[in-house]
Structure 1
Amino acid sequence: MFEPQDEPRVFFIPLGADFGAHFADGLAARLIHLAPEDRARVSVMLNTARALRRVQDRLAAARPALGLMPQMRTVTDLDAFHLPPAVDGLRRRLHIARLVAELQARTPTLAPRAAVFDLAASLADLLDELQEADIPAQALRDIDLGAFAAHWAVGAQFVEILAQHWPAALAALEDGALDPGARQRLSVEGQVAAWRAAPPHHPIIAAGSTGSRGPTRALLTEIATLPQGAIVLPGLDHDLPAAMWADLAEDDFADHPQHGLAKLLRGLGMTPSDVAPWSDRGAGPGARGRLLSLALRPAPVTDQWRLEGPAQRAELPAATEGVTLLTAATPREEAQAIALAMRGAIAAGQTVALVTPDRDLSRRVSTALGRWGVLPDDSAGRPLNLTPPGIFLRLVMDAMGQGPSPVGLLALLQHPLAGGDGEARKAHLAHLEVAARRYLPGLAAPVDWERLCALPLARLEPDEDSHAWLRQIEDTLRPLRLNGDAPLADYIAAHRAVAEAVSKGQGSTLPLWEKEAGAEARKLFDRLTAAADAAAPLTLSEYRALVAQELAGTPVRAEGYRPYRGVSILGTLEARTQSADLVILGGLNDGTWPSLPGPDPWVNRAMRKQIGLTPPERRVGLSAHDFQNAASAGQVILSRAAKVDGTPTVPSRWLNRLTNLIKGLGPEGTAAFDAMAARGAMLIAQAKQLETPDERTPRARRPAPRPPVGVRPPTLSVTQIETLIRDPYAIYARHVLRLRKRDPVGELPDARDRGMALHDIMEQFSTHLKAGWPEDAGARFDAIVQDVLTARAPTPALRLLWESRIAAAREEILKQEQILIETGRPIALECRGERRMTTPAFTLTAKADRIDLMEDGTLRILDYKASDPPSKKQIEVFNKQLPLEAAIAAGTGFRGVGGSDVRALHIKGLKYDVEKGQLPERSLAVDPETVQAVWAGLAKLIAAYDGDSSTWPARIRPQFIQYESDYDHLSRFGEWSDGDTVSPEAVGR
């Protein structure tokens, strides 16, 4: 296939080219001249499995002419040479986590136990780096820590695990298995030794790899020197000055896109001028390539922009003609614009590829393409934790320990994979509906099964079937009640058994493990089961962290995956050997592309250099090469979002360099940049227009129903009068339509619950004041607080919180109560009353918190508020509860209260002001004339809503309303709230 030569045989495929197509076509042109048996002996190695399939498909199209196909594999798929197998990655991580946990147990101050798995994963990554570089872990011991900060000595204790304990543990526990990095290096060394002992005479070609990793670089170097060996490099930049190549191979330039290739060529004793093109399909990207090459020059030599930039002004129109700069406001806007561009490429008969490391962006784009029924070929698939089986398994896992919360239980049982199939599923959902409507609301977390299962029997019409179903669910979930440290095998067995039982229900099939995602979930549990013996006993939180990590790291292809031909979403590695007519580089923000090197807790930059490890910028350099290669395609969109989650972003450093270079090239550069940005702005505008409806729906008017007079409420309470004043529609919905808010499942305790507890406390304490101020008032108050909070606080944590707030206000409450008792004694607590009017016919009801008999024989009505009391103006206009209670008392409407002359109203706030050191109060003096005026005003208000033409509008006086109405959704409040007004003539005031 190749002519004999003394120099290494190295080829390249230019930047921006479709590597797979170029390589396959060049290979086919060489194979056609070989005899059929010689073609079958040719060995081809590609950098990824996806690139391998791409080349195989391309060659298959030419198979009638080629006949037998060459042998093809990836560069990591080497002969074992009788090496032991590699240890399973999960087992290794669990082994290392056990060693880390032992160290943490001996010295708890080194790290929290919750960090054990994160530390183990980080140590495993360091171990792989060391072994790939053929650096023994003992080299970490030789680092002189005296020159570094003291905290590095703490990390050294964990690193000692790799140097001292791990080799012995691996040999003893895994039957001599090797670490993956060590095995790969030994495989390369074995292959190289075999080739040198008996050089092969058949062609061996390695393509697509930059040789950035040590073992791969050694393999490529050896292949290039074989008699019929050759390597084909992706994206070699021939536009860089020859003098720069020697410097680019140094670690100081590890973040440059050509660093890996420069290092490989230096090892071969070659320069780019010695590298020949693989095929005659073009020598390079031309003007675009020269522009990108200059823009991405290393930082120390960016002064070359001034020297070489002016020469590129004439080329700017050609270099930027196919480039679109898309700067969206948000990730959603970016995804919509990208999807529209991809749809346009499909309509034009082009292939299109989105290249991005941002998985959130790729999922958004996939969803947006669904508008046109386009399913892209996504190289990464979908994480298992976002699939139905993954979500279901997470819900089961959340129920482990003390048990599920009401919300968690409802979410688990109503999941599509729960309850079996067919009629069993229907029956399951019917029982669940009963539980969600009648039994689950009001339950605290975790679910109290004894109380929950007793509820159906306590109803007037007990539902025996529902009771049996609840008991069955309790029995099914019982294995999840694991406490303390437990073996990983116990967690897995309980998790799996309960998940299968809940999924199958009373059905005949097990939906959980069906389809592609279910099969992957089952494989994951099989792996966990097989690796369980490698783990030390775990806490529940550790088990959850482990399983969540594994679920998130397992990709899944959709069932019946049939992607749209020619539409791809690629990661940066896959894009290295693929291209398209239109290439979209998405998520070009610093921190996303490139992702910034994370903090290394074990070795800093100086330590890495001391022991021979590559600098952390190596990964940035690889990403830079992927960017340069993709951006060199014919038609390119460079896309980013200006804000993510409301936070401003920073453009990718490469995008910044490119745009700054272009804008700095005078009027030509400004015109080129404006044209790039204008094309992006047009895409965004078109995407927005696509989502804009052709016709505007008229804004809804504020609802103002006019119910028949006969169905209007004849009775309201004093608290509902405020609602009638502010929001008549809420009274209409509650009393005319008879709608009640359904208690939500798992609703957290709120201010209302705390207010009810405070009312109970003050009611019980007031009973001790009927005979005067007791000497042990403080002790009695404290005992009441304990009893009430024990009964009412749903959780211990909330009880402590409420108790601390009451304790802060305790002295002030007792002080104010003692002052009140000096002028009057309680004669009625939580006293019910009512008063009727004849014109119109109406009954006002009330329940007074407390009524005191004053020394002069008059009455004082008290109301306790858990929040701040309303102002006097609010009481006059809106909050008429106490004045109306005075009107009821004036009509002797309170049971057991003989007097009717109310002279004082007192609102006592129980929300303690820490800064002022006081409880807010509001006192109002009233007289018979004032009370009579209040009653007359109520009669006028009721008459206004009793007329034939009167309406009941929504939220007509919303001042100071700090809560949502239960009926805002029914009145479609959000549709008219910004501009609609209600006519004062619509109702009486």
Structure 2
Amino acid sequence: MSLFSIAPSTPFLLCLTDAIMDGRLLGGWERSGPFWLSDVSIIVPTQRARQGLAEAFARHPDFTGLLPDIRTFGGDEADEEPFLPPFDAPALPKTATGLQRRLVLSKLVAQWAQSERGRLAFSTPPTAAEIFSMAESLGQLIDDLTIEEKTPADIRALGEDMAQDLGEYWQQTLEFLDIALAAWPALLTQDDRADTATLRRIRLDRQAAAAQYLYRDRPVIAAGSTGSIPATARLLAAIAKLPRGAVVLPGLDMAMTPATHEALLDPESNPHGHPQYGLAHLLRQFGAGVGQVTELCKETDSRTSIVNHALALTRETARWAGQRPAPSGIETAFAGVTIIRARNEDEEGRSVAVAARAALERGQSVGIVTPDRNLARRIAAELKRFGIHADDAAGAPLFQSPAGALARQILNLVAGSCNAVDLLALLRNEAALLGRERGEVVRLANLVDLGLLRGQRPAPGIAGLRQMLAAHLRDEIKHPARRLTAAEGVAISGLLDDLHAAILSLESVLGSDQIDAGLLANALWSSFEALSLGATLHGRREMADWAGQMAGLAGEGHRFAPFGLDGVLSALMTGFEVRNREERRRDIYIWGQIEARLMSPDLMILGGLNEDKWPGAADPGPWLSRGMRIAAGLEPPERMQGLAAHDFAQALGNGKVIVTYADRVGSSPALPSRLVQRLDAFVGADATRAMEARGAVWIETARRVDTVEATAKIHPPTPNPPAAIRPRKLSVTEVETLMRSPYDLYAKHVLRLRPLDVLGDDPDARERGTIVHAIFGRFVQEGHDPVAEDAFERLMLIAAEEFGGLDTIGERRDIWLRRFAAAAHQFLDFERARAANVLKRHAEISGRWGLKLAEPFRITGTADRVDVLADGSLEILDFKTGSPPAPASMRGFEAPQLPLEALMAGAGAMEGLKAAPTSALTYIKIGLGPEAFKPSSFALPEDMDVMALADEVGRRMQGHIDLFLMRDTPMPARLMPLKTQRFSGAYDHLARVAEWTLVDGEEEP
């Protein structure tokens, strides 16, 4: 038996090529003539390794031009012919796709979840998305059984052997598994189909059976596999027994002792997460030990030995003190290793990018390996800043691709009845063309945005948008953000017609009470094609493939109500990847762990070395616990951690390596991978600090990428327009704005800028307050008596009319109306308690007051309530859904609205009200609870009555008007900011307030 190994520190494919070219792996095979190499067969784990090996042969100085036969384990059907045995074999069953299995199993999961026993297993009924995800997990369990050559009977036996140890939940789960694991194979047999894992096992076994007949005495080499799949291990064993067969293992620890080998085979030692676990089992299947394996290329690097010690079994860590080399030896071994310990993922991605760029500038090749797809995309984006387009070999999930994003936007649009945000999001997508030029779609999207949606609430669906368009063209919309012309209306109408035609089938499907996945996918694909007609869209081919498979499965799977469809789509698209097909540069790659195996670039960067990322969390899935998996003969979830550890050890053998991780992932603190922690603990703090010091260079460089070396102090804007174009009229509320931020009046009245309403904004407390004001105002204006027996009924009738304007959101309207009933009772109680002292009530009373200044100037305003009291004086009331001004602001003459209304009333400037002094200024809190409708008097300065306060406010107001509006005086922003204000002003972004103010604490200018 010919067994070999290539150490992690040796470039695997180059060593393998040399060993074949110089005959070490050929068993004396004749190497004369131009065609001898074509008689050699080589089997490698991945297509990427296959390509890399071919390139290594092509670069070899003795290469004559004919490559060996290079194949992959269990390759595609097109690769199988040379492996078929020389006797007739039955035709393989057709492939059952993962999507088909997911749908079929989802029906079983749903039926179980709805059964009496199944309902006990869930705290809440599972959603459709959760059912499809559970079906995918169940399919993975079926694959595990197939790969590890177990049967449903092994799962069934758990219920018998562990009945006393299992809780009610697991017993219920086993009952379901007994049904599901029998039903799926029966369906496959009925349709003459088989799972992908089953077909791979059959192919591998056929290859193993055919090996002695196919190769006879010709050289055949199986290289780079750990034999983690039993069928692969059998093929490796069959090849190793051939006359000129050879198996080349990746990174076997040649210093492994027989005791360690035995410990790796003992489940009680919990060895599954060890990097040598799979190779130890493979050797035992060969009936061999480490002593029967030959190191193919001489190991000269001590780093591999240190890494193997650092990742040793737990019980062997007690020997670390005697195994640790001298500090100088560690320093030499890890001179080529750098650790980047970033503050967060953003800094990690940028640090990797700058390190990779520097290597490329030195003419070196770069391989970036990470299991974290988000980090991979982040690194690719950072590299583009330097004009480097790196290919992410693992691809992106279809759900997150540009094609998937468009599909999700279409689905959200229809599910949300064409609400404003979803509509604009779709029209802003560059692929949403609807058969038009992109510029035309952008123009129409802007018209729809400003003409139909800003500040408006169309009724649901395309019909609501058409109604809004018709009302706009009839000039029935008050103060639209943009007035549409007749021609623009025609163009928008055409856009809505095409959009409606595109989504009509999907609307019909989502209008049903119950739908199935195939029906949903078919309608979604129809809308997708119509909307993206003429667009170049990355992922379209994969989207079409997914839709085609779904179309063939119409009627299959769990039927569900059309809710939570984004999660359903995500579950249905699981397993569909979008890979880049463009030609990219060949000196830098972004790999997943599988793609990186056997690769040896000049610089290897290992990214995302955080716990639960590399290695991933040991999750046994929802169907079996860890103990149940082991009892059934399945590998525990830590087995995948062992493979991840082996990948780490292999990659760390590269000459130049950068290891990266982040102290924070997302918004949470994060730990370095246990692999990094083990290595740090073994090599010691000094060596770790040295590696981190080398990484600090890249972190500092990354931080400088966006750093501005010199900053100029930013001053608040101080526009100084001519006095002649400044306003000559202010409302009472704008007087406070003049005092606090004259810049806002400059933006509003001089620049004539108006803030746009938030797109698709839901009614909030401010709008509710406006409606409540209108209700109380109408009650008074219509002359209703709060003391009358039918006062409450009349008030509620008015409320029903005012809240009726929220017809498009009826559920919220009804909630607000019910809540208003309590406020109505409080309002009437408040009015009745003071009725004896009130002669007449005036609501929503407007006023215009002319000032005698250098030029005519008017103050306007509308008072919520002005009541004439029994003594002939006035009480001015302001109903507040929010909080009234702080007492300090009132006493400091910084809350001018009510005092100015008192001046206007005293000057006879209020419509329908005779001039009279004001004796009380009162705030009334509107709301629910004990503080509602409790009057709060205006806080007066000492030795001042209401009219004296009003006179002082008026004097100060005239001073501000004279200074900022009648003269060429600069109009600064935030002259006297309100410290309690926690929201941005309407013009703060225009004034770039965030650039020249401190937003933390109270340190504001």
Q: Same fold (TM over 0.5)?
A: yes
| Alignment match of 2:756 (pick from 742, 760, 775) | 742
Q: Which residue of 2 aligns with 1:97?
A: 106
Change (3 A) 1:500 1:590: same
Change (3 A) 1:296 1:791: same
| Alignment match of 1:49 (pick from 47, 50, 53) | 47
CA offsets per residue over residues 214-253 of structure 1, 9 Å max, x none?
Answer: 2222222222122322211111112333431121133320
208-217 or 255-264, larger mean C-alpha shift: 208-217
Do the aligned residues in 1 keep the contact of 2:902 with 2:947 (CA within 8 Å)? no
Do the aligned residues in 2 keep the contact of 1:328 with 1:642 (CA within 8 Å)? yes
| Alignment match of 2:623 (pick from 590, 598, 602) | 602
14-23 or 93-102, larger mean C-alpha shift: 14-23
Q: Which residue of 2 aligns with 1:469?
A: 495
Q: Does structure 1 residue 200 correspond to structure 2 residue 216?
A: yes
Partners in 1 of 2:238 and 2:822 — Cα distance? 78
CA RMSD of aligned residues (A): 2.7
Partners in 2 of 1:449 and 1:567 — Cα distance? 48
Superposition deviation, residue 687 in structure 1: 2.3
| Alignment match of 2:740 (pick from 726, 729, 732) | 726
| Alignment match of 2:8 (pick from 15, 35, 48) | 15
**1:272-671 correspondence to structure 2 within 5 Å:** 272-278=290-296, 280=297, 283-284=298-299, 286-309=301-324, 311-401=325-415, 403-420=417-434, 424-444=437-457, 447-458=460-471, 459=473, 460=475, 462=486, 463-481=489-507, 482-483=510-511, 484-504=513-533, 510-511=534-535, 514=536, 517-541=539-563, 544-549=566-571, 551=573, 553-558=575-580, 560-563=582-585, 565-663=586-684, 670-671=685-686
Do the aligned residues in 2 keep the contact of 1:587 with 1:593 (CA within 8 Å)? yes
Partners in 2 of 1:202 and 1:342 — Cα distance? 43
**1:3-402 correspondence to structure 2 within 5 Å:** 8-30=1-23, 33=31, 39-62=37-60, 65-77=63-75, 78=80, 81=89, 82-107=91-116, 109=119, 110-111=121-122, 112-114=125-127, 115-143=130-158, 144-172=162-190, 175-195=191-211, 200-251=216-267, 252-278=270-296, 280=297, 283-284=298-299, 286-309=301-324, 311-401=325-415
Partners in 2 of 1:157 and 1:443 — Cα distance? 55
Superposition deviation, residue 835 in structure 1: 0.6
Partners in 2 of 1:965 and 1:810 — Cα distance? 32
2:997 is matched by which residue type in structure 1? S
Q: Does structure 1 residue 977 correspond to structure 2 residue 970?
A: no
Partners in 1 of 2:818 and 2:610 — Cα distance? 47
Do the aligned residues in 2 keep the contact of 1:13 with 1:236 (CA within 8 Å)? yes
Change (3 A) 1:702 1:261: same
Partners in 1 of 2:407 and 2:697 — Cα distance? 44
Superposition deviation, residue 126 in structure 1: 0.5
Do the aligned residues in 1 keep the contact of 2:37 with 2:68 (CA within 8 Å)? yes
CA offsets per residue over residues 127-180 of structure 1, 9 Å max, x none?
Answer: 0111112211122121133212221122223312333322222233xx220122
Q: Which residue of 1 aligns with 2:780?
A: 766
Do the aligned residues in 2 keep the contact of 1:15 with 1:235 (CA within 8 Å)? yes
Partners in 2 of 1:445 and 1:640 — Cα distance? 49
SS at match of 1:583: strand
Do the aligned residues in 2 keep the contact of 1:911 with 1:920 (CA within 8 Å)? no
Do the aligned residues in 2 keep the contact of 1:15 with 1:285 (CA within 8 Å)? no
Q: Which residue of 1 aligns with 2:967?
A: 948
Change (3 A) 1:572 1:476: closer
With the length of structure 1 as denominator, give the TM-score of the two structures: 0.91
Partners in 1 of 2:839 and 2:135 — Cα distance? 69
2:593 is matched by which residue type in structure 1? T
Partners in 2 of 1:659 and 1:764 — Cα distance? 75
**1:727-876 correspondence to structure 2 within 5 Å:** 727-767=741-781, 770-792=784-806, 794-799=808-813, 801-803=815-817, 805-806=819-820, 809=823, 811-824=825-838, 826-840=840-854, 841-876=856-891
Partners in 2 of 1:179 and 1:123 — Cα distance? 13
Change (3 A) 1:929 1:685: closer
57-66 or 401-410, larger mean C-alpha shift: 57-66
Partners in 1 of 2:345 and 2:443 — Cα distance? 41
CA offsets per residue over residues 799-824 of structure 1, 9 Å max, x none?
Answer: 35534654565554333232233321
Partners in 1 of 2:822 and 2:329 — Cα distance? 76
Partners in 1 of 2:20 and 2:824 — Cα distance? 87
Partners in 2 of 1:682 and 1:832 — Cα distance? 68
Q: Which residue of 2 aligns with 1:4?
A: none
SS at match of 1:537: coil
Do the aligned residues in 1 keep the contact of 2:620 with 2:626 (CA within 8 Å)? no
CA offsets per residue over residues 315-345 of structure 1, 9 Å max, x none?
Answer: 1121121121221111111122211211221
Change (3 A) 1:448 1:399: closer
Do the aligned residues in 1 keep the contact of 2:903 with 2:951 (CA within 8 Å)? yes
2:16 is matched by which residue type in structure 1? F
1:93 is matched by which residue type in structure 2? R
Change (3 A) 1:268 1:465: closer
1:868 is matched by which residue type in structure 2? S
Q: Does structure 1 residue 963 correspond to structure 2 residue 983?
A: yes
Partners in 2 of 1:196 and 1:546 — Cα distance? 49
Query: Gaps (5+ residues) in structure 2?
Result: 476-484
Partners in 1 of 2:458 and 2:176 — Cα distance? 39
SS at match of 1:640: strand
Do the aligned residues in 2 keep the contact of 1:155 with 1:601 (CA within 8 Å)? no
CA offsets per residue over residues 538-593 of structure 1, 9 Å max, x none?
Answer: 43347543432455643333453322x32122211222210222212111110111
Partners in 1 of 2:805 and 2:840 — Cα distance? 25
Partners in 2 of 1:635 and 1:825 — Cα distance? 91
CA offsets per residue over residues 292-318 of structure 1, 9 Å max, x none?
Answer: 111111112210112222x44441121
Partners in 2 of 1:34 and 1:534 — Cα distance? 60
828-837 or 916-925, larger mean C-alpha shift: 916-925
Do the aligned residues in 2 keep the contact of 1:825 with 1:853 (CA within 8 Å)? yes
Change (3 A) 1:161 1:337: same
SS at match of 1:276: strand
SS at match of 2:385: helix
Superposition deviation, residue 676 in structure 1: 1.5
Superposition deviation, residue 754 in structure 1: 1.6
Partners in 1 of 2:4 and 2:830 — Cα distance? 92
Superposition deviation, residue 265 in structure 1: 0.5
Change (3 A) 1:763 1:646: same
2:9 is matched by which residue type in structure 1? G
How many residue pairs align between the two structures?
951
2:576 is matched by which residue type in structure 1? T
SS at match of 1:400: helix
Superposition deviation, residue 870 in structure 1: 1.6
Q: Which residue of 1 aligns with 2:699?
A: 684
Superposition deviation, residue 57 in structure 1: 2.0
CA offsets per residue over residues 403-446 of structure 1, 9 Å max, x none?
Answer: 2221111111221112256x644333332221111112234487
Partners in 1 of 2:744 and 2:457 — Cα distance? 29
Change (3 A) 1:378 1:431: closer
Partners in 2 of 1:38 and 1:861 — Cα distance? 106
Query: Gaps (5+ residues) in structure 1?
Result: 1-7, 505-509, 664-669
Do the aligned residues in 2 keep the contact of 1:240 with 1:293 (CA within 8 Å)? no
Do the aligned residues in 2 keep the contact of 1:887 with 1:934 (CA within 8 Å)? no
Change (3 A) 1:762 1:357: same
SS at match of 1:704: coil
Do the aligned residues in 2 keep the contact of 1:18 with 1:578 (CA within 8 Å)? yes
Q: Which residue of 1 aligns with 2:924?
A: 908
Superposition deviation, residue 917 in structure 1: 5.4
